[in-house]
Structure 1
């Protein structure tokens, strides 16, 4: 099933390729300050902790692409670059895919400041959600957002997600454990 390309009215979602490295690195570098308040970080843990083997530095672009493809082929996570024509404008991932009785996942995304407030992120969330519901048969998809990120909260709402509640110290973001609000959308066709 992988690779998958999803087409919207103004955007195309496709998996990252090794040849996207220069564009991805340029967009990320240009947006470092814009994205840093919302970026996941690694908490400090003792070196002798059993979890230390999972606590590593960020991967190179090539390692990231290889890992994203491996996770998608295994059905655990699906990551797409967001394109508006030939412009790389962001990235969206539907991760933590669980089957069985839960049949759920969560979505995370980022957008280039130069393309923010144009509806591209909302379109991407709708495309990935539709893929999760129709192709994967998921029942529940979450978007967890820092409450201070009003633009991202609006994306979730415009994409049809409902505010479910507050999650205290939910994710390690920008160097500390941060509270989040949880938005949820259920697939009403799954019984």
Structure 2
């Protein structure tokens, strides 16, 4: 393993207008499991197939270890999203596939619990993480992919200043089926989004 200099030793906490982002901790298990469980039918059409042990503590420990390893290697940064004011866990967002060198790019993936959808929380999280990626991490390009039928995700990306660049055929296996995805991207020197 190696640690890249662009990632600070301490884990970042990011503040948006509506959400606070921080890296997941082992103690988040119960709140995460409850939110994911009540949101299962809402999330499953847009995610990889859920594992039979999805909510087991052993699977949670593997997930946390994976997040920590990716962060230590400079490959990805996973965040949980908390609603400002109330402090409730509302979802998660990841900056993954972080590449420096000539690419200076990464990909964003996210999920939100059903009770919190449609409140602008995810748009705020995407904007907040994008500012961090372009500023602190000095990335040049951030990509996101979404299934064409996922109109909510399309709205989030467009409100956050991402532009559709094309269609990725049979891009990811989602809920057991290979799905086409729209590719969206935002470039560091794109005009700021209010």
User: Aligned Cα RMSD in Å?
Assistant: 1.5
1:29 aligns with 2:37: yes
* Mapped partners of 1:129, 1:30: distance in 2: 28
Structure 1 residue 19: Cα displacement: 0.6
* Mapped partners of 1:188, 1:86: distance in 2: 33
* Mapped partners of 1:138, 1:131: distance in 2: 9
- Report the secondary structure of 2:48's partner residue: coil
Aligned residue among 22, 27, 36 for 1:14? 22
| TM-score, scaled to structure 2 | 0.86
* Mapped partners of 2:139, 2:167: distance in 1: 23
* Mapped partners of 2:101, 2:49: distance in 1: 30
* 1:146 alignment partner in structure 2: 147
Structure 1 residue 159: Cα displacement: 0.2
1:157 aligns with 2:158: yes
Which sections of structure 1, spanning at least 5 residues, go unmatched? 43-56
In the TM superposition, 1:26-65 aligns within 5 A as: 26-41=34-49, 60-65=59-64
In the TM superposition, 1:32-181 aligns within 5 A as: 32-41=40-49, 60-84=59-83, 85-181=86-182
Residue deviations 1:37-91, cap 9 Å, x none? 001249xxxxxxxxxxxxxx86711111121022112111011000013211000
- Report the secondary structure of 1:60's partner residue: helix
* Mapped partners of 1:182, 1:146: distance in 2: 9
* Mapped partners of 2:180, 2:162: distance in 1: 19
* Mapped partners of 2:94, 2:184: distance in 1: 16
Residue deviations 1:140-160, cap 9 Å, x none? 100100000000000000000
Structure 1 residue 21: Cα displacement: 0.3
| TM-score, scaled to structure 1 | 0.88
Structure 1 residue 8: Cα displacement: 1.2
- Report the secondary structure of 1:70's partner residue: helix
Question: Which segments of structure 1 move beyond 3 Å, counting only runs of 4 or more?
Answer: none
Q: How many residues are aligned here?
A: 175
Residue deviations 1:11-48, cap 9 Å, x none? 10001111100000001111111100001249xxxxxx
* 2:12 alignment partner in structure 1: 4
